Chains A and B, each alone.
Chain A
Amino acid sequence: MIELCDVSVTIGQCHLNRVSFKVDTGQYAILMGRTGLGKTTLLETICGLRHVASGHILVQGQDVTDYSPGDRSIGYVPQDLALFPTLSVAEHLAFALRIRKCSALETDQRVHEVAEMLGIKHLLQRGVAHLSGGESQRVALGRAVSFRPAVLLLDEPLSALDEATRDEMYQVLRDIKSQTRMTTIHVTHNSDEANALADLRLDIGSSNLVA
């Protein structure tokens, strides 16, 4: 479960004023709104990369407003994916687990479990430089869900994909939802994505955010 209570943020020209909403555990929320209204800023604020001017962010009922990004139990897939160019696919999936000092056996098991779920087992030993858009997207998703976060944030995850790959990714996202029961917030402009995936729709307006 994730809850925002009167969260205000100002980054450059972008102002978010007293944003409040709640997404229950296991729900898949689609966040829509015009370009420039601060959807990406809101996601970055939720995962701790932007400073909150006022208000509170609660994850699983715990106030994480002042927590560092790594302590919030939030997986994040940015729009540009931001894969690590020097790491292989397997190293991406193992990254968060190694930071948490999981055992080699546990890490290996989880890497294979996530790779199986996302259909990227055959890519594990490859670097990320020459992956296709869909493959890169799966790796970024796998990296974000590998450590079993309570909340998953997806910033326009399907915007750069062709139609066929997008249909495949719908199924991948549904699988993640059904297998992990992760609370998810997915930013998009595309109403088809909302129709295909949403349990809950959030519309970001010019001054606030309504469910």
Chain B
Amino acid sequence: MKPIRRRSDKPFFLVMGGISASFVVLIVLLLAADVLFTSSQDFADALGKPEIRAAFWLTMLTCTVAAIMSVFVATPLGYLLARFEFPGRRIIDVLVDIPIVLPPLVLGLSLLILFHLPIGPTQWKLETWLRDDVGFPVTYRWPAIVLAQFSVACAFAVRTMRVTFDQINPRAEDVARTLGCTRGQAFMLVALPQAWRGIVAAGTIAWARALGEFGPILVFAGATRMRTEVLSTTVFLELSVGELDAAVAVSLIMVLMAIVVLILLRSLRLGLST
């Protein structure tokens, strides 16, 4: 009979921890490099530029509008996908994910083509109609930024809302219907109040995605200073004119904004699990 051997779990934790640490260390090094490269004076200089201040406020505004629009659309769509089997459901499920996997520049180009595609014998164009008849031009203006951000952010919000409603027991809505609710009342009075954390999470994710959006904005809204410049385009514009210090300072501002959003999201998830 073999003697009893005392074995250790240390190799397991060393291997697993070592592999895991490589990614964590990479992120920490990236952030540390940015912090070491820049100085408080660079921050002050960057924030002193009227273009960058305008870009900051335009970023805040467009991200917020895109996030609100995303939640408004994602809540009913996520609910329908989570609760009902209907013709075309699988196709819609795939379509919703397309903005997530599409190369950003392609998405921007697709938006540009959609708004400028001549249709029919009259050569009707969506952009021309919006500009001349509605009085609301989109392309190369701030609404184009919101639409470009919304196109991607909404896809993430739909995924979040779908998971949220998947996790909510539909039996409660069934019971509500036996108590006299229509489907609409069951949704508003029973499902929606339970989904509030998911709604906040979807809004936060949509906001964070909108913050990081660059490719579609560059193509569809352009990068005109003081007009269609958001922080992601600021980094690009500052780099293109050789202002590396300003580009890094703006990048760190975006990192700080993202960290705030991630902390908010994490606290919500902790709240959900308890």
Instruction: Report A's interface with B, CB cutoff 8 A.
Output: 44, 47-49, 68-72, 74-76, 78, 80, 82-86, 95-96, 99-100, 143-144, 147
Alpha-carbon distance between A84 and B171 when the two chains are bound, in angstroms: 10
In the bound complex, do residue B177 and residue A147 qualify as a contact, i.e. CB atoms below 8 Å apart?
A: no
A-B contact pairs, 16 of them (CB 8 A): A47-B178, A48-B177, A48-B178, A49-B177, A69-B177, A70-B178, A70-B182, A71-B180, A75-B178, A76-B175, A82-B172, A83-B172, A86-B193, A86-B194, A95-B179, A144-B179
Partner of B178, one of A49, A80, A85, A86: A49
| Further contacts, 12 of them, CB under 8 A, given A71-B180, A96-B180 | A69-B174, A70-B182, A82-B169, A84-B194, A86-B193, A86-B194, A95-B189, A99-B181, A99-B185, A100-B180, A143-B175, A147-B179
Decide if A82 touches B181 in the complex (CB within 8 Å).
Answer: no
Q: Verify A70–B194 contact, CB threshold 8 A.
A: no
B190 interface residue (CB < 8 Å to A): yes
Given A82-B169, A86-B194, A70 contacting B174 (CB threshold 8 A): no
User: How far, in whole Å, are A70 and B181 apart by their CA atoms in the complex?
Assistant: 6
CB distance from B78 to the nearest CB of A (A): 18
B residues bordering A, Cβ < 8 Å?
169, 171-172, 174-182, 185, 189-190, 193-194
Whole-angstrom CA separation of A83 from B181 in the bound complex: 15
> What residues on B are CB-neighbors of A76 within 8 Å?
175, 178
- Complex CA gap A169/B146 in Å reads 58
Minimum distance in angstroms from B143 CB to a CB of chain A: 36
Partner of A69, one of B171, B178, B189, B194: B178
Q: Which residues of chain A are near B193, meaning CB under 8 Å? A: 84, 86
Whether A96 touches B179, Cβ cut-off 8 Å, given contacts A85-B194, A86-B194, is yes
In whole Å, how far is A174's beta carbon from the nearest beta carbon of chain B?
A: 23
Q: A70 to B179, Cβ gap below 8 A?
A: yes
Q: Which of B175, B181, B194 contacts A78 (CB 8 A)?
A: B175
Q: How far, in whole Å, are A96 and B179 apart by their CA atoms in the complex?
A: 5
* CB-defined contacts of B179 to chain A, threshold 8 Å: 70, 75, 95-96, 99, 143-144, 147
Which residues of A are found within 8 Å of B194, using beta-carbon distances?
A: 84-86
Which of A69, A78, A143, A144: most chain B Cβ within 10 A? A69
| A154 to B: closest C-beta gap in Å | 13
Q: In whole angstroms, how far apart are the Cα atoms of A85 and B190 in the complex?
A: 9
The answer to whether A84 and B190 touch (CB under 8 A), given A49-B174, A68-B177, A70-B177, is yes
- Rounded to whole Å, the gap between the CB of A209 and the closest CB of chain B is 21
How near does chain A come to B188, taking the closest CB pair, in angstroms? 11
A residues in contact with B178, CB < 8 Å: 47-49, 69-70, 72, 74-76, 144
Q: Are A84 and B174 in contact (CB under 8 A)?
A: no
Q: Are A99 and B180 also in contact (CB < 8 A) when A84-B190, A86-B194 are?
A: yes
Known contacts A84-B190, A86-B194, A99-B185, A78 near B180 by CB under 8 Å? no
Nearest CB of B to A16, in Å: 18
Closest to A92 in B: B179
Cβ-neighbour of A82 out of B175, B180, B182 (below 8 A) = B175
> How close is B195's CB to chain A, nearest CB, in angstroms?
10
Cβ of B180: which chain A residues have Cβ within 8 Å of it? 70-71, 96, 99-100, 147
* Cβ–Cβ < 8 Å partners of A72 in chain B: 178
Tell which of A47, A74, A80 touches B169, judged by Cβ atoms closer than 8 Å.
A80
Known: A49-B177, A84-B190, A85-B194. A68 touches B182 (CB 8 A): yes
With both beta carbons as reference points, the residue of chain B lying nearest to A49 in the complex is identified as: B174
Task: Write out the residue numbers on chain B whose beta carbons fall within 8 Å of the beta carbon of A144.
Answer: 178-179
A49 surroundings in chain B (CB, below 8 A): 174, 177-178
Smallest beta-carbon distance B169→chain A, Å: 6
Q: Within the assembled complex, what's the spacing in Å between the Cα atoms of A44 and B175?
A: 10
Alpha-carbon gap, A75 to B176, bound state (A): 10
Question: In this complex, what residue of A is CB-closest to B193?
Answer: A86
Q: Which residue of A lies closest to B172 (CB)?
A: A82
Shortest CB-to-CB span from A180 to chain B, Å, is 16
Please, which residue of chain A has its CB at the minimum distance from the CB of B185?
A99
B175 contact set on A, CB distance < 8 A: 76, 78, 82, 143
A7 and B194 CA atoms in complex are apart in Å by 35
Residues in B neighbouring A82, C-beta threshold 8 A: 169, 171-172, 174-175
